[in-house]
Amino acid sequence: MPDAPPSLSRYWLVAIAAAYLYLFPYYPKLQSANELPRVYLVKAIVDDGTFAIDHGVAQYGKTSDLSRYADHYYQNKAPGSSLVAVPVYAVVAKLCGPPSLAVTMWLCRVVTGIVPTLLLLWLLWGYLARFAPDPATRRLVLFAYAFGSMAFTYSILYYGHQLAAVCIAGAWILGEGVADGTRRTRTMIAVGLLAGMAPLVDYQAAFAGVPLAIYLGLRLRAWRPFAIASLAALPPLGFLLFYQHACFGSAFATGYNYSTTFAGDHAAGFLGMTHPTWHAFVGVMVAPDNGFVVLAPWWLLALPGGVILWRRGERALVATVLAIAVIFVLFVSSLAFWRAGWEVGPRYIVALQPFLLPLVAATLAEWRTRPVAFGLACGLVAIGVVIYTLSSATLPMWPADSAGTNFKNPVFEVMFRLLGDHAVGPNVLRALGVQGLASIAPLVVGIAALVGFAMRAAGATRKALMISVVVAAAGIAAFSLAGRDPSAAREASAAYARTLYPAVTQ
């Protein structure tokens, strides 16, 4: 097998960074409900010295993701992603004056999404060597994660989910290093800070904390490192309680308690959680419009990977990953608002993704000498890369209402239709005057080349590559069979013409 090209051997992280920075999916007409309140909070803290976002709401407009308490508006999210962006925004505002809303959005996305994801990929590169010693296999795993999963979508958007994933996964990887003896005990300070930051950024990231704490506690077999991490976690957790008290009058009240739009959904049960439903489980995992393993079927490779690692003696790790996966899926399946609004993929489980990577790496390492199996695996990776790359280049937020998506087949009704109409989101070449599909051609060709070379370097023979092409083509084509209800199709077409196309092409 030929060696990997130098661009893959030495500069793969640079290539991912370039792809992420190439896109700026910013659509002012859509008034991004999830992002704007976070941006308003950044500006409020630096420009106005307050947590209240009244000025942002008055200047730029309301969104559905607001809370109102004591005659003031607040964002209804955990505040961590805004806090991380505050220092950078403050420096820019000091040197150049308060930046515009668009520039602020770009800064926030880079600081809280792109840069943290690149750091996580760097950590994963070393950590995954335990499960896939061959560098080419690990590179393929990381390309699959970077280009073929929700990591792509939520690194270039200001939603907070990917930053929370970076925090909790970073705590896990660094803690593993201390347990293995490759990192010093003082690293547990960073472990604790990251673990505490995760729920400060995104509340549900805390669900990974308990299984992870048990796993690391068993591996460390000493009270001192665990105590260091526990103490280090207190400042971010304490600030979260302080923020909630300052905004909502109680340390244990969240913005969801005072949501202006979805109060009914969040009031059900505990923060919107009641009991798991089959409808929600199907919608989150396998529905063609947004299912986790439908949009990125290569995550199914974690199943045989779990068996492989279990047989190798990595039973504690497999059990921990399984526990985290079950907790997240049960959590989302129990939410009244499980569809989570505008999204590509079930964003409430973004923090689960990094924990599945060792299992995927084990499968690819085991199958790389079996052309048929490896070709199937590469085909599944290609499906995810196609969907998440093209959606990111057009509109990485597919519409939905509280009852379910208006677009039963957004792969064709949104993504491919936008491409067919030569409608793509803002990007580097479009900013320079190049319009339509030509502006995203370098991105699409570049990612395709990177992933293709990575597959070849990891062991894909010509036979395996042919199988992967067939699998990917069949998988993408299968989406054309979804959402064939005529009335729903007419509604989706009208919404596309009325809202989506004008927003993307503005």
Beta strands 66-69; 72-75: pairing state:
antiparallel
pLDDT band at 2 (very low <50, low <70, confident <90, very high): very low
The whole-number pLDDT of residue 1 equals 39
Asked if pLDDT for residue 88 goes beyond 90, the answer is yes
Asked if pLDDT for residue 20 goes beyond 70, the answer is yes
The secondary structure element, H or E, covering residue 130 is none
Average pLDDT, the chain: 91
Q: For the residues of 449-506, what is the DSSP string, one character each?
A: HHHHHHHHHHT--HHHHHHHHHHHHHHHHHGGGS---HHHHHHHHHHIIIIIHHHHH-
Question: Could you tell me which residues come within 8 angstroms of residue 353 by beta carbon, excluding any fewer than 6 positions away?
Answer: 145, 149, 150, 151, 165, 299
Q: 84 near 111, Cβ under 8 Å?
A: yes
The pair of three-digit structure tokens given for residue 109, joined into one six-digit string? 């996305």
Mean pLDDT of 400-426: 84
pLDDT band at 58 (very low <50, low <70, confident <90, very high): very high
Asked if pLDDT for residue 283 goes beyond 80, the answer is yes
- pLDDT tens, 232-272? 999 999 999 999 999 999 999 988 888 887 655 555 555 66
Between 8 and 54, whose confidence is greater?
54
Q: Is 202 helix (H, G, I), strand (E, B) or coil?
A: coil
Asked if pLDDT for residue 102 goes beyond 90, the answer is yes
Which parts of 325-428 are beta strand (E)? none
CA angle 391, 456, 355 (to 5 degrees): 55
d(CA 423, CA 237): 43
Give 240: exposed, middle or buried? Use CB within 10 Å, 0-12, 13-18, 19+. Answer: buried
HSE value, Cβ hemisphere, 13 Å, CA-based, for 89:
30
Name which of 37, 115, 80 is nearest 341 in CA terms: 37
The secondary structure element, H or E, covering residue 420 is helix 417-420
- pLDDT tens, 136-152? 999 999 999 999 999 99
Which of 129-143, 153-167, 473-487 bottoms out in mean pLDDT, i.e. has the lowest? Answer: 473-487
CA 441 to chain centre: 24
d(CA 466, CA 376): 10
The whole-number pLDDT of residue 402 equals 43
Mean pLDDT of 409-415: 93
pLDDT band at 454 (very low <50, low <70, confident <90, very high): very high
Asked if pLDDT for residue 471 goes beyond 60, the answer is yes
- Phi and psi of 267, rounded to 5°? -75, -20
The whole-number pLDDT of residue 440 equals 97
The whole-number pLDDT of residue 408 equals 85
Asked if pLDDT for residue 8 goes beyond 60, the answer is no
Region of 272 (left: φ > 0; alpha: ψ -120 to 50; beta: rest) is left
With tokens 């308990």, the residue in question is 210
